[in-house]
Amino acid sequence: MSGSWKISIFSAFNGYKIQRNTLRKALLDAKIKNFTIRSNRDETKLYLDIKPDYEAAIHVLNVSDEIHFHTYSPRGSRPLNKFIIKGLDLDHDLDSITETLQARLPGLKSVWRMKKTDADGFKIELPHIIVTTDPDTTIDNLKACRLMLEEIQHQTPDKIKRVKHHKLRPPPQDPTLMRE
């Protein structure tokens, strides 16, 4: 399936196992047809090849606790890992989240919020962030950061150090990135 996202779903994350049939049914219920699901032998990982469709990605988020996107940079440069961290409180600004991740996540490249366009054409921020990192970043690094970000959510926003600007910016326009 050319031009597709290669997504590994860590189906045994937090003791919740996503069955292949559950994922297939969820995608079909959402009228998403262009996908292929594979798994490793013990089905602790499901591998989903899906055409770049933003609504499809949102639906996958709803049935999976954590997703790891494999994307490759254009023109043969080093590949980047792309992660989605779900369920972050929208009261906390992106600069605070970025500063926290910069301190703890090796090889961080960019951080931005997921957005979707509503029926009226307005962009709505979702409580998920997309993080791109060097290929050496492991899922354990991300889990540690996710726990830390969950702790931040329990603090009031005024207790979080805010920065006016951060050096990390989303990479140049790339059709494989979900930026809608």
Domain locations along the chain:
5-159
pLDDT in tens, 26-46: 777 767 777 777 777 766 666
Q: What's the rounded mean pLDDT across residues 57-82?
A: 53
pLDDT in tens, 79-93: 666 666 666 665 667
Q: What's the rounded mean pLDDT across residues 49-68?
A: 55
8-state DSSP, 92: S
On the question of pLDDT at 74 being above 70, the answer is no
CA 76 to CA 159: how far, in whole Å? 43
The answer to whether the CB of 65 falls within 8 A of the CB of 83 is: no
pLDDT for position 44: 62
CA 153 to CA 122: how far, in whole Å? 26
| Structure tokens that stand for 152 in this block | 């931040």
pLDDT band for position 54 (50/70/90)?
low
pLDDT in tens, 118-173: 777 777 777 777 777 776 666 566 666 666 666 655 544 443 333 333 334 444 45
pLDDT for position 167: 38
Beta bridge partners of 66: none
CA 4 to CA 12: how far, in whole Å? 24
φ and ψ at residue 25, rounded to 5 degrees: -65, -40
Higher-pLDDT residue of 155 and 25 is 25
